[in-house]
Amino acid sequence: MTKIIGLTGGIGSGKTTVANEFVSLGIPVYITDQEAKKLMQSDIVLNQIKEEFGNAIFEEGVLVREKLSEIVFKDANRLAKLNSIVHPAVKQHFKKWLLEHQNDPFVIYESAILFESGSYRECDFVINVVAPLETRIQRVIERDKTTREKVLERMKNQWNDEEKSSKSDFIIENTSMEVIKLEIVKILKFLRINQIKS
């Protein structure tokens, strides 16, 4: 049976870099944020979002993600509500995706809110990507063309590194690409040995 390897890390930790490295090695990777963005264009999800957040976050019938982000990252309760709409749709989509990869020994399930959403319970192993706080803040400011305050607001809605690491099986310290590659080699070696045993 295909093993599910959860991949998580705080905002700006470098999860995408790690995910891309797994992809380059031929490991199937499911990126929840990318899939959630697609699913948020479906009528079912859009209608639920409109019902909860109103018409103000739409322009000519199109969801303006920036306006939605402004609301949810300032209010943990509204963020939880959005997740309760989007997460079940992602979960359902992942189940279908998993069927397409049932002959793979393991797949990577990448999610920024792996622990917060409870999805980690469905993973056989979990990898947490960590990086120094200031490095993470600077990465997000540059990537999203945003402010330090907004980055810190988003960080408040996520578990901290210590909480995530305490529940993870592997920790990748994103200090350089070389370190990432070495850690991934070790993890894959462990997973392949574990696959033979099971």
- 12 annotated among ligand-binding-site residues: yes
- 175 annotated among ligand-binding-site residues: no
Q: Computed over its alpha carbons, how large is the radius of gyration of the chain?
A: 17
- 13 annotated among ligand-binding-site residues: yes
Q: How far is the CA of 14 from the CAs of 7, 112, 142, 163, 189, in angstroms? A: 11, 11, 13, 18, 22
What is the full per-residue pLDDT of the chain (198 aa) written as tens digits? 899 999 999 999 999 999 999 999 999 999 999 999 999 989 999 999 999 999 999 998 899 988 998 899 888 899 889 999 999 999 999 999 999 999 999 999 999 999 988 999 999 999 999 999 999 999 999 999 999 999 998 898 889 999 999 999 999 999 999 999 999 999 999 998 877 555
Domains in the chain and their CATH numbers?
3-193 (3.40.50.300)
Q: Can you give the pLDDT at residue 196?
A: 59
From CA 87, how far away is CA 78, in angstroms rounded? 14
- Contact predicate 18/174, CB 8 Å: yes
**Residue 118 per-residue DSSP state:** T
- Give ∠ CA 113-114-119 in degrees, rounded to 5: 130
- Contact predicate 129/8, CB 8 Å: yes
Q: Can you give the pLDDT at residue 195?
A: 72
Q: Can you give the pLDDT at residue 197?
A: 58
- 118 annotated among ligand-binding-site residues: no
- 8 annotated among ligand-binding-site residues: no
Q: Can you give the pLDDT at residue 73?
A: 84
Residues ≥6 apart with Cβ < 8 Å to 137 = 12, 148, 151, 152
Q: Which two tokens stand for residue 68?
A: 């939605």
From CA 30, how far away is CA 97, in angstroms rounded? 8
- 17 annotated among ligand-binding-site residues: yes
3-state secondary structure 2-13: CEEEEEEECCCC
Q: Can you give the pLDDT at residue 154?
A: 87
